[in-house]
Chains A and B, each alone.
Chain A
Amino acid sequence: MKFRRFRPGPRLVSVLVGAAAAVLVLYPIAFLLQASLSVGDPQARPPEAYGLDNFADLPRYGHIFANTVSVAVAATAMAVVFGFVMGWILSRTNVPGRGALEQLMALPYYVTPLMGALAWSLIGSPSGGFVNQVWRALGGESHLIDVTTPYGIAWVMALFEGSVAFVMIGAVMKSMDPALEEASQVLGAGRIRTMLRITLPLVLPGVLGAAIFVFAEMLGSFSAALVLGLPARFYVVTTAMYQLVSQYPPQFPRAAAMGVSLFGVMFAMVYVYRRIIRAGSYATITGKAFRPRAMDVAGLRWPLLGLCGAYLAIAVVLPVVTLLYASFQRLATAFPRASNFTLANYETALSLDAVRTALWDSLLLGLGTASIGVVLMGFLAWMIYRSRLPGVGAIEYVLMFPQAVPRLVFAFGMLWAWLIFPIPIYGTLWLLLIAYLTVFLPLGLRTIAGVMLQIDRSLEESAQMCGASWGYRMRTVTMPLLRPGLIAAWLLLFIASVRELGASILLMGPKAKVITPTIVESWFSTSTELTAAMALLQTLAVSVALVLLFTVVRRATQPVGE
């Protein structure tokens, strides 16, 4: 009688789902650690003996770590400059067309580092790069630019990551209460002094946070270094790991030790980033509604606008146009000749069984990852940010782990973890589905949490006070209010899954291929022109799939009236 109304329902479900998700993350990491400590026969599983030999061996790869750091530093510096300049222009000046430009700034992110690398290789490889062809035609010696150098790789990565830096820095600049600057001016400080003494110190933590975040991402980045660096035998940690695993015989323990070191450094970085964001947020966020003050830049309006346009042109238009141009040629060259144009690359790409099944599998996986992910991550977000169950803080921490682990490193842990799993999912799409759901946990959680945190808790509480049970509240209040966040998360998960490379390249089996690694394989083994066609087909397929889905969804949920 006393316990008549005690119902463990949502609580029990929460504990189970939270624990399952935590296992999803921690299980591969445990295997990664185990592999890194394995000494003796590198192929033996479970390890014959444990020791720190693999870590003691790492100094032999000192040059690879140095490469990684120099590329990451150069890329971070460029990306933060791009992000800062664009962020300042688009959120604090009166440049025309700011709203539209701000939307367009997301585009570089969708171009992806892989497409960027493929395109820039066509533009700026020392021998066949279009720019260098033109340079020699004009009488120049050897080559003008070379994207296969560390700085070239950093440049390609920075163009892509610049839009991430822009989003982070732009948000900080926008969230600053203009009254803070106005107060300085009212008290007699000039514009320059206000900028130096007020604006900069307030924005600095955000910029620093963005720099650290970008740096961590760059340390773990894979595709640009793979496409541009591998032919020139220039290795960073992730590509070296890939090489160690895919060579014969594979050097699993050594690769694992590398991965663990990278994980350690990135983990520290992400930790510092979170500390900075937390410590620096007090000054700029007031919770009051305001419009950031736009500075009148008078005659500089058009040059500044041109700067934004130039970034978009170099980061988006140039790579896409280059790939398009190359994909329609028999032999990619800077100089158009009618006889050189062909549709054969597309015909070949579409006729290849490998490409067709890989593309289809990728779209299927994207659909699965996005749909399952939204439900799973929506529930996890609710549990972490709403349920107030004990221990959710620790679960949030664990679920954000994949953010600090390069996807390749994570996949490496999974490779080991699921090989010994009793149910044979290794080499099937199921393993990839599990991998995607795990590595994209932070992406989905952050997207949904962003919307969830804006929903006042009392909106759910008032439903509770009206007598609605947990399920009824979820269905009538929480879910409908979350819809924009859930849709955004679905789209992001879909796009990210279809274009995933780092985890897929290690985990896909011969009978379960996905498209992005297939494109990379084609880059190394077939022609550049065919690869360009494949990359564009992938982009096209994603776009068509999204348009179709949107049409269907809109038709299905067309509101009646109003």
Chain B
Amino acid sequence: MSQPPVPGRRAASIEVRDLVVRYGTVTAVRGISFSVAAGEHVTLLGPSGCGKTTTLRAIAGLEPPESGEIRIDGQPVFSSTPRVRVPPEQRGLSMVFQSYAIWPHMTVFDNVAYGLRVRKMPEAELRERVAWALGLVQMRELATRSAAKLSGGQQQRVALARAFVFGPAVLLFDEPLSNLDAKLRAEMRLEIKELQRTLGITSVYVTHDLEEALAISDRIVVMRDGAIEQAGTPAEIYDLPRNPFVADFVGSANLIEGRPRPELAGPGLVALQTAGGAIVHGTAYGRRPGDRMCLSVRTVHVRLSRERPAGAVNVWPATVRRRVFQGDFTQYHLDWDGRTLVVRGVTADPVDEGSTVYLTVEPRHCVLLEG
């Protein structure tokens, strides 16, 4: 596809320092700091009400923060001391809204051309650029259609094209896919990732959907109650959650608590004894065990077998209490060590409810959480 040179700025970096946002007496964001490198795709992930959208809107300039500092490409756009307040329209950013915010009184073309007309681009060049943007989102044929007559997915594409067509320094996404059905969501996820690659633009993406975050991010910032719980690459967040919240929110995990048994631990490993008496071996990944330890075990990392497998550690018998068929996998709820353990197994060879099975999990998949 022909790609006209992008006008405007190159990708810019973002720095957020000690950001505090308050609504009346409620503190939505409690002094968070993070940065996004030029060209990087960062996702703010967390449950609803965690402050992720507020943070995004503060970067955009749509929400006035109480204190802190936001810099774009090194230039402060908000700062409490010294006082700086750059209005949203002068920050050189662009944003895709959760509601799409497609203007119903304009055509698809006019919607996309808006940002270019604001920048007074000559009409011929403008037409070329709008066609290019619509092409990227596969909407070129619908350019003359009234925006009021678009489906949800089509509105989403128009919103995307409108957001990047004028070559903003940063693209912000506010849960852009949450109003689409599951299938379309998976499709658009790929398209957004593709687009990010094509444009090489810096982006901040807000979602509560884990899969979405894992699929499209270079880095993920997990938030809760207006604070950052953990920041890292998708693999780090998934494989090495720092605390029970992240372990639980990012994918499904079993948390196993107990007191340390350092004398049982092999080289590089940690060991704990649960209240029920089971000895579990895990991996510290550089973290230091305290006097109470907690291991996170992903439900997909536990293997079930009918016969007792070979192996010295982390092999236990358990009883299948409930089997839930879920299509791509089968979820088992097991009675183990006086508690319930959730395990996801392959569907091909289901184990019956009530039968006894053996569980195995490798110590490298039992991740020590920070004390």
Contact = CB atoms under 8 A, between A and B. Distances in A.
A2 B83 CA distance: 7
A524 interface: no
- Which of B94, B101, B105, B146 is the most central at the interface, judged by chain A CB atoms within 10 Å of its CB? B101
Interface in A432-482: 456, 458-459, 461-469, 472, 476-477, 480-481
Contact of A467 (B62, B84, B118): B118
Contacts of B86: 5
A353 interface: no
B114 A465 contact: no
- Which of A3, A467, A477, A480 is the most central at the interface, judged by chain B CB atoms within 10 Å of its CB? A467
Contacts of B105: 480-481
A469 B120 CA distance: 13
Contacts of A481: 103-105
B166 A465 contact: no
A562 B118 contact: no
A466 B166 contact: yes
B292 interface: no
Contacts of B95: 461-462, 465
B268 interface: no
Interface in B80-108: 82-90, 92-95, 97-99, 101, 103-105
A6 interface: yes
A6 B103 CA distance: 28
A60 interface: no
Contact of A464 (B84, B89, B119, B163): B89
Q: How large is the interface on A (under 10, 10 to 19, 20 to 34, 35 or more residues)?
A: 20 to 34
A461 B82 contact: no
A7 interface: yes
B60 interface: yes
Contact of A456 (B90, B99, B172): B99
B115 interface: yes
Contacts of A463: 103, 114
Given A467-B166, A472-B118, A462 B62 contact: no
A466 B101 contact: no
Interface string A1-34: 0110111000000000000000000000000000
A461 B62 contact: yes
A466 B118 contact: yes
A464 B88 contact: yes
Given A464-B89, A467-B166, A476 B114 contact: yes
Contacts, number: 71
A5 B87 contact: yes
A464 B162 CA distance: 12
B281 to A, nearest CB: 51
Nearest to B162: A466
Nearest to B171: A465
B89 A468 contact: yes
Interface in B46-83: 60, 62, 82-83
A456 B101 CA distance: 8
B146 A562 contact: yes
A458 B98 CA distance: 9
A467 B146 CA distance: 23
B99 A458 contact: yes
Contacts of B159: 462
B262 to A, nearest CB: 55
A464 B68 CA distance: 23
B2 to A, nearest CB: 24
A465 B87 contact: no
A459 B99 CA distance: 9
A476 B105 CA distance: 10
Contacts of B84: 2
Given A2-B82, A468-B114, A468-B118, A461 B97 contact: yes
A3 to B, nearest CB: 8
B103 A459 contact: yes
Contacts of A562: 146
A467 B115 contact: yes
Interface in B168-220: 172
A466 B94 contact: yes
Contact of A465 (B83, B94, B146): B94
Contacts of B83: 2-3
A439 to B, nearest CB: 33
B103 to A, nearest CB: 6
Contacts of A480: 105
A464 B119 CA distance: 13
B161 to A, nearest CB: 12
B85 A466 contact: no
B267 to A, nearest CB: 55
B51 to A, nearest CB: 18
A330 to B, nearest CB: 56
A393 to B, nearest CB: 12
B85 A5 contact: yes
Contacts of B92: 467
A465 B93 contact: yes
Contacts of B93: 465
Contacts of A3: 83
Interface string A122-164: 0000000000000000000000000000000000000000000
Interface in A270-314: none
A147 to B, nearest CB: 50
Contact of A462 (B82, B101, B166): B101
Contacts of A476: 114
Given A2-B83, A465-B62, A481-B103, 10 more contacts: A456-B101, A459-B103, A461-B95, A465-B88, A467-B115, A467-B118, A469-B89, A476-B114, A477-B103, A480-B105
14 contacts: A2-B84, A3-B83, A459-B103, A462-B95, A462-B101, A465-B94, A465-B172, A466-B89, A466-B115, A467-B90, A467-B115, A467-B118, A468-B89, A481-B104
Top-7 shortest CB links A-B: A466-B115, A462-B101, A458-B101, A465-B95, A458-B97, A467-B118, A464-B88
